[in-house]
């Protein structure tokens, strides 16, 4: 709808046109400030230009009126245009809000270390990434979802040690002195029991077998991670293991050329040449590669696949890695501008207004699986997508269990279910409803129709701006409009019953499509009425 108007205006004005929604609906459906941008070029006031441009529009099938106001040009869409578009949407529901973009994108997200189950910090990036993935694919982008498994380095060694400590303390009832740093959680107890059953007691007692135990355990932990993600309706196309990349280390280092130098028996990358605060170590004195080294080989592998664009979703604590990774990409001979980094901030949980208490399963974090058990995956996905990802998020799990208007996901699901209930009460046939013409509507119905047809613009904007929270915001607003319309207007048995039912079908389609893009299935049953 908006794209159609922009295309018409681009052809008329021979330039791209910015369209906005007027604050006052009575002014029209869209407005453009183009007169302000033309003022200097034409040496006229914006108000004069706007009046001249508005008066230049002839009778149109698209616009009912084109007016100027204080330098803005306001467009009111014609009833026929809205009716035809609405009918097309109803007849082609699977195509609603879809796009035809062709760009190939590699989207990497979550990428948590395989040393324990996912916690709520991981969950936020997971939901954000998967929502971005769904939006992009709906718009036609060819997106590959990838998980980078950090299965090399000290954290894996620590997993082996932690598993042995857990087994010795809980399984074998030994009194073992605990180090300052080790992993905790009930999952380690479960893993130690499995390891004892598969390999015998020795692997859990012999310190020389820690590496063997760690390599086995990381794969079992990844199974937990994949299971947690699946419970949240999140799946990946590819998994890349860090441990599989180091065979390519020498070749990649050679590609870096003068970007690498030796000093103090270490190898460094000249990342300060690309706005990093300091040059960074990539190989330690003992020859072991650093965490950054793995990232360099991994990003070389990414770029060699020839995607048009790369998106990484990292935790906010990785902000300092951006400059050094982009420096490496430039030294490898690639365009670092093709790499986009989105940061995911932390989450704080409350329960009845008090800090959410961690369970014995989690050790020292709140697990993603715990929250899904508390509120369900739909509520988790909705609340995690409902606020800008790079800002902190706090919510109360008890609020998301309520079946009232204070719970946003309930409020939206109730709107969709309410429409289905209204249709069940009607004796009108599907053909009568689909054949109805949405013309001569009252102001409330016209406004609701326009809002319901705005979904394509919302989807495009949410993806392009990387602000997926715009979709849940839209769904809440549309649901509020639907509930108000329901209370203000009788539907069944009225003269406009078929028109109203068709209008409600369009609202339901917007709600269902929007929820689907959030990874949530729309409900048809009414909780209460």
Average pLDDT, the chain: 93
Model pLDDT, residue 528: 52
Stretch 65-76: mean pLDDT, rounded?
A: 92
Stretch 371-384: mean pLDDT, rounded?
A: 95
Q: What is the pLDDT of residues 144-169, one digit of tens each?
A: 999 999 998 889 999 999 999 999 99
Helix (H) or strand (E) holding 396: strand 393-396
Segments forming the whole domain that contains residue 473? 408-517
Q: How confident is the model at residue 21 (pLDDT cuts 50, 70, 90)?
A: confident
Q: How confident is the model at residue 265 (pLDDT cuts 50, 70, 90)?
A: very high
320 found inside a domain: no
Q: How confident is the model at residue 116 (pLDDT cuts 50, 70, 90)?
A: very high
132 found inside a domain: no
Stretch 343-361: mean pLDDT, rounded?
A: 81
Check whether 529 has a pLDDT greater than 50. no
Stretch 46-60: mean pLDDT, rounded?
A: 89
317 found inside a domain: no
Q: Which distant-in-sequence residues (6+ apart) come within 8 Å of 183 by Cβ?
A: 115, 116, 158, 159, 162, 363
Q: What is the pLDDT of residues 213-226, one digit of tens each?
A: 999 999 999 999 99
Q: What is the pLDDT of residues 423-449, one digit of tens each?
A: 999 999 999 999 999 999 999 999 999
Other beta carbons less than 10 A from residue 450's beta carbon: 18
Model pLDDT, residue 362: 54
Check whether 4 has a pLDDT greater than 90. no
433 found inside a domain: yes
Residues 72-83, buried b or exposed e (16+ Cβ, 10 A)? Answer: bbbbbbbbebbb
Model pLDDT, residue 176: 83
Model pLDDT, residue 146: 98
393 within 8 A of 350, measured Cβ to Cβ: no
Model pLDDT, residue 299: 98
Same domain assignment for residues 69 and 169: no
Check whether 404 has a pLDDT greater than 50. yes
Q: Point out the domain boundary residue: 171, 188, 211.
A: 211
358 found inside a domain: no
Q: How far apart are the first and last CA of the chain?
A: 34
Model pLDDT, residue 292: 93
CATH number at residue 437: 1.10.730.10
Model pLDDT, residue 15: 87
Model pLDDT, residue 527: 53
56 found inside a domain: yes
Helix (H) or strand (E) holding 313: strand 309-315
Closest CA to 107 of 297, 323, 338: 338
72 found inside a domain: yes
Stretch 79-94: mean pLDDT, rounded?
A: 95
Task: List, in sequence order, the alpha helices (H) in 167-280.
Answer: 186-199, 210-231, 249-256
Angle at 471 between CA 30 and CA 409, to 5 degrees: 130
337 within 8 A of 310, measured Cβ to Cβ: no
- The answer to pTM > 0.85 is yes
Q: Point out the domain boundary residue: 43, 77, 111.
A: 77
DSSP bridge pairs for 105: 143, 309
Number of domains comprising the chain:
3
Model pLDDT, residue 439: 94
Model pLDDT, residue 226: 97
Check whether 376 has a pLDDT greater than 80. yes
Stretch 9-22: mean pLDDT, rounded?
A: 88
CATH number at residue 47: 3.30.1360.70
458 found inside a domain: yes
Q: How confident is the model at residue 480 (pLDDT cuts 50, 70, 90)?
A: very high
Q: Point out the domain boundary residue: 18, 52, 77.
A: 77
Same domain assignment for residues 72 and 165: no
Q: What is the pLDDT of residues 294-324, one digit of tens each?
A: 999 999 999 999 999 999 999 998 998 999 9
Check whether 364 has a pLDDT greater than 80. no
């Amino acid at each position: 709808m908006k794209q159609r108007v922009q295309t018409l205006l681009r052809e008329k004005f021979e330039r791209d046109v910015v369209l906005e929604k007027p604050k006052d609906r009575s002014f029209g459906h869209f407005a453009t400030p183009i007169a302000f941008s033309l003022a200097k070029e034409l040496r006229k006031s914006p108000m004069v230009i706007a009046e001249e441009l508005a008066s230049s529009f002839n009778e149109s099938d698209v616009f009912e009126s084109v007016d100027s106001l204080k330098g803005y040009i306001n467009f009111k869409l014609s009833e026929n245009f809205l009716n035809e578009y609405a009918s097309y949407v109803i007849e082609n529901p699977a195509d609603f809000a879809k796009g035809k973009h062709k760009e190939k994108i590699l989207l990497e997200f979550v990428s948590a270390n395989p040393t324990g189950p996912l916690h709520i910090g991981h969950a936020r990036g997971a939901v954000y990434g998967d929502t971005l993935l769904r939006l992009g694919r709906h718009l036609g982008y060819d997106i590959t979802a990838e998980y980078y498994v950090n299965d090399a380095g000290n954290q894996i060694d620590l997993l082996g040690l932690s598993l042995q400590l857990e087994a010795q303390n809980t399984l074998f009832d030994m009194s073992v002195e605990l180090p300052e740093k080790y992993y905790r959680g009930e999952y380690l107890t479960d893993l130690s029991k499995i390891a004892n059953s598969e390999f015998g007691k020795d692997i859990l007692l012999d310190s020389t077998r820690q590496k063997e135990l760690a390599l086995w355990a990381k794969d079992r932990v990844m199974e937990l991670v994949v299971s947690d993600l699946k419970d949240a309706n999140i799946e990946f196309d590819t998994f890349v293991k860090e441990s599989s990349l180091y065979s390519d280390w020498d070749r990649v280092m050679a590609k870096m050329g003068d970007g690498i130098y030796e000093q103090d028996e270490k190898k460094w990358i000249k990342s300060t040449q690309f706005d990093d605060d300091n040059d960074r170590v990539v190989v330690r004195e003992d020859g072991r590669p650093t965490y950054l080294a793995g990232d360099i080989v991994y990003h070389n592998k990414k770029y060699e696949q020839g995607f048009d664009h790369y998106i990484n979703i990292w935790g906010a604590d990785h902000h300092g890695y951006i400059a050094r990774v982009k420096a490496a990409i430039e030294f490898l001979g690639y365009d670092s501008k093709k790499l986009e980094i989105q940061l995911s901030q932390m989450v704080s949980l409350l329960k009845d207004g008090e800090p959410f208490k961690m369970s014995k399963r989690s050790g020292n974090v709140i697990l993603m699986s715990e929250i899904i058990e508390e509120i369900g995956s739909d509520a988790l996905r909705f609340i995690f997508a409902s606020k800008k990802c790079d800002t902190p998020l706090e919510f109360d799990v008890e609020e998301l269990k309520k079946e009232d208007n204070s719970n946003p996901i309930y409020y939206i699901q109730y709107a969709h279910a309410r429409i289905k209930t209204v249709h069940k009460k009607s004796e009108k046939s599907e053909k009568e409803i689909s054949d109805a013409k949405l013309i001569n509507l009252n102001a409330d119905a016209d406004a609701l129709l326009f809002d319901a047809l705005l979904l394509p613009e919302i989807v495009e904007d949410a993806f392009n701006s990387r602000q997926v929270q715009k979709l849940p915001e839209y769904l809440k607003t549309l649901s509020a409009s639907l509930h108000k319309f329901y209370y203000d207007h009788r539907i069944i048995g009225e003269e406009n019953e078929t028109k109203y039912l068709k209008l409600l079908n369009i609202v339901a389609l917007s709600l269902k499509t929007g929820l689907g893009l959030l990874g949530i299935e729309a409900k048809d049953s009414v909780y209460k009425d």
